[in-house]
């Protein structure tokens, strides 16, 4: 099995948590036959990693990190490291790293992609035109509606809408859209996570699940009909659940997957429950992509204190899902 990693923003914590994570999994028996390569600029990687006391040794076209030799897929966009700084040069390298790794993955040179965090502002300044990794991968794979799933152990929260302003969430919802999202989550739970008969919970949009349409009508007009339509097709789905009680009283533990209506409704409880170990998985693509569920953390970049647990879990989940696909 072969995994490729894009380095993200070189002025953030991405390369640090990547190196720490590779070092950790390099001693794991499950990874003895897993090759891990890095899409980045060799000089930038060396300049970055020279700042840390890590088991890293550059050799030939690659680098030893712990017990794992990683080939560096060369990117031409060298940039000087300025920890905590948002820059056009860092954005350009992050975009090139993502493009190189994604192209290799689509060409089937690798089985999975793990993406380190990017600064969208830096990438926008370098001419990048996407609102996030999910939207970029959607374009590259020619898939209109991939599904963003945040994972931590047995908790898997998918998002009906992703990186859009909260004020346009209601108008972005429809009976058809929600039915497709529930079906997509069901298919991912079956095919990617090998859960044969998954149970799905669907969250409400409005407080108190609309309180019998007195606090909003989306539950009655769209969410509940979408659940009923999917149930008619043989998909086990329940809801809509008011999200505060759903998470506050541990109802989430009864389900294999959860569909949230908007970004923060799903990410806030996931990050609280995961305590720094959450993973972002993009479902519905012909490729496998995972990522740590945190950002660039410019405020602690270069200090050597970044927590790599989420990056470790992202690499672990990429290996598990790739293995599940191979066994299909």
Residue from 113, 135, 140 nearest 123 by CA: 135
Average pLDDT score, the chain: 94
Task: Give CA–CA dist 156/151, Å, rounded.
Answer: 4
Q: What is the mean pLDDT of residues 4-22?
A: 97
Residues 226-269 have pLDDT tens digits of 999 999 999 999 999 999 999 999 999 999 999 999 999 999 99
Residues ≥6 apart with Cβ < 8 Å to 86:
9, 11, 119, 121, 122, 125, 298
Residue from 61, 72, 79 nearest 125 by CA: 79
Which pLDDT belongs to residue 328? Answer: 62
SS3 content of the chain, % helix, strand, coil (to 5): 45, 20, 35
Q: What is the mean pLDDT of residues 62-81?
A: 93
One-character DSSP codes across 144-159: S--EEEEEETTEEEEE
User: Given this chain, do its domains 1-143 and 145-284 carry the same CATH topology?
Assistant: yes
Indicate if the pLDDT at residue 74 is higher than 90: no
Residues 140-187 have pLDDT tens digits of 999 988 999 999 999 999 999 988 899 999 999 999 999 999 999 999
pLDDT over 70 for what percent of the chain?
Answer: 99
62: its two tokens: 């690659």
Q: Are 171 and 313 in contact (CB under 8 A)?
A: no
Indicate if the pLDDT at residue 188 is higher than 90: yes
Instruction: Name the CATH superfamily housing domain 145-284.
Output: Isopropylmalate Dehydrogenase (3.40.718.10)
Residue from 147, 141, 76, 143 nearest 102 by CA: 141
User: DSSP secondary-structure letter at 252?
Assistant: G
Which pLDDT belongs to residue 162? Answer: 86
Indicate if the pLDDT at residue 112 is higher than 90: yes
- CA distances from residue 317 to 90, 209, 238, 248, 277 in whole angstroms, order as listed: 27, 33, 27, 27, 11
Which pLDDT belongs to residue 34? Answer: 95
What are the extents of the domains in the chain? Answer: 1-143, 145-284
1-143 CATH fold? Isopropylmalate Dehydrogenase (3.40.718)
pLDDT over 90 for what percent of the chain?
Answer: 86
Q: What is the mean pLDDT of residues 38-50?
A: 96
**326 pLDDT band (50/70/90 cuts)?**
confident
């Amino acid at each position: 099995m072969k995994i490729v990693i894009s380095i993200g923003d070189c002025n953030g914590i991405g390369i640090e948590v990547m190196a720490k994570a590779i070092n950790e999994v390099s001693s794991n028996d499950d990874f003895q036959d897993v090759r891990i390569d890095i899409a980045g600029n060799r000089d930038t990687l060396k300049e970055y990693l020279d700042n840390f006391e890590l088991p890293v040794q550059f050799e030939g076209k690659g680098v030893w990190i712990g017990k794992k030799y990683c080939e560096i897929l060369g990117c031409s966009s060298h940039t000087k490291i300025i920890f905590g700084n948002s820059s056009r040069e860092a954005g350009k390298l992050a975009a090139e790293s993502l493009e190189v790794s994604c192209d290799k993955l689509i060409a089937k040179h690798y089985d999975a992609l793990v993406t380190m965090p990017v600064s969208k502002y830096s990438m926008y300044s370098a001419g990048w035109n996407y609102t996030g990794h999910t939207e970029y991968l959607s374009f590259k794979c020619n898939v209109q509606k991939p599904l963003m799933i945040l994972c931590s152990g047995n908790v898997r929260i998918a998002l009906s809408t992703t990186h859009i302003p909260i004020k346009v969430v209601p108008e972005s919802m429809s009976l058809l859209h929600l039915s497709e999202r529930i079906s997509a989550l069901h298919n991912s739970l079956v095919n990617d996570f090998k859960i044969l008969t998954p149970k799905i919970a669907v969250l409400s949009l409005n407080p108190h699940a609309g309180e019998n349409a007195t606090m909003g009508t989306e539950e009655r007009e769209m969410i509940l009909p979408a659940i009923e339509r999917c149930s008619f097709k043989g998909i086990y789905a329940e809801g809509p659940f008011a999200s505060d009680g759903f998470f506050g009283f541990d109802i989430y533990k009864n389900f294999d997957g959860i569909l949230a209506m908007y970004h923060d409704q799903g990410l806030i409880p996931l990050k609280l429950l995961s305590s720094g170990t959450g993973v972002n998985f993009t479902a519905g693509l012909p490729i496998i992509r995972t990522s740590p569920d945190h950002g660039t953390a410019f405020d602690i970049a270069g200090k050597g204190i970044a927590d790599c647990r989420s990056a470790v879990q992202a690499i672990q989940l990429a290996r598990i899902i790739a293995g599940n696909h191979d066994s299909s």
